[in-house]
Structure 1
């Protein structure tokens, strides 16, 4: 288990390092010049442009700028916003808690609805399974921006049960305001996890040893717990890790639709303003979230399945 943890940690650091280089290079190699953000529609003199480029270290070679940014990230210094001059860490940190809460609420909905619907569909073949399969097949095809539009129109505008935008003060206010965007964020993922759960449980139910245990008269509850659900957990855990990572990326759309002041909305605004330091920081956070979610998924699978711990020792 220790070797597996070290392998995942090494993979995490390597991925973050390579991603940082790619993120930095892709932004600064894009068409246009970053200092144009500060000048806007004005036509600066050559001296003014040179002074701003020197202040932003744009007159240095790209590898030097990349190295300075990487070492700054390691020190916790993400630079300053090119638009507001505020520290990038402060700008990102202001909305990070809201985004984490939104993803957490969405993941609770995904687990409850996805596992529940998938389990019912697997254990109740026939009409129940067909209805559940139809519902999940429909949900996975609904993009987050479509779900956001429909939910706002129905539950915020017509029924008035939830606010259509922003958040409210206090934890209870935050949860009430985030419940609608969380459902929009979780809808497609619920269907995906339900399909994975149904298929994994159906596969285990068809195993010979499960059928033998049922024929011998073992209680169905015990067989489901010890032989079906436990052996079906690995693919479900993998799917849950992928879903959690995907939720962070989908916040860009949902937070913009509901005007939620999180890092997803901040990213859209920063891209529109060409605020490169903020975009870099958020992109790195999204990559980190994706890698961490997958690493945690692997570790949880190793705890559930001892065979994976053996693989970690022999690799």
Structure 2
């Protein structure tokens, strides 16, 4: 009788708690480590899936979709998660270098975008869910200013099989996801490439021409910039003691000390950088209603007529509106 009672209680327990949620197969809570592990798993899968011959290829764009409550609880940790993910990606690439002669990603930076939603692809998003969508490049939901195809090729873990699969996703599936700009991060690659690959992205010789006023030889600083929505990078040599960062528009073309960026995410003007002779250091002022960050630190907005200057380190990453990355290097 004792065995029968135990069996009856076991059956009742299975009715109340589905087998998939018992201690043999528990639902993992959404911790920072779990989000990180999902990103790493997605990256490692893409490296195996996308690499071909002697060329190493991997996903560079990642969307991390969470339930809104989970998003709110975890958002302060997103920069740390991204930093840890990038470190893990780099370590994995280094460990695979012996197998490949060339590192050939389609993009030139890793792009991460976090969003909160209750539905994705017709499936509900529960508080315990973490959905990572990866692609070689080009996932930019919420960017209406750029023409994108109706469908994109992505890699994501399929819930039924628990495996990563390559699928076509209709961009309308992202319409229920709140991709907030503070949840976006761009980290430029720093891999050593063969000479041929390096020459392909080297700054044009024309930029070394001493045509601008107050010329300082090779310049006071070099600013490499990457525009995420166009997947485009270039370099700018800062030869003036003060420059303006602005959107590329016809009215700005005749200013010799303007760094013009072809992006809808850049304000007009967005910021100014100057070299302070008295302090012998660089400073930055932001005028944009959107975010300007220096090494992840938010720079408060001021008016163009009354700039508030903040220290700019000799080596710094400047992020404009979470979409345009400037790598600043004093020369």
By relative contact order (CA 8 Å, sep 6+), the higher-ranking structure is 1
TM-score, with structure 1 as normaliser: 0.23
Greater percentage in strand: 2
What TM-score results when the alignment is normalised by the length of structure 2? Answer: 0.22
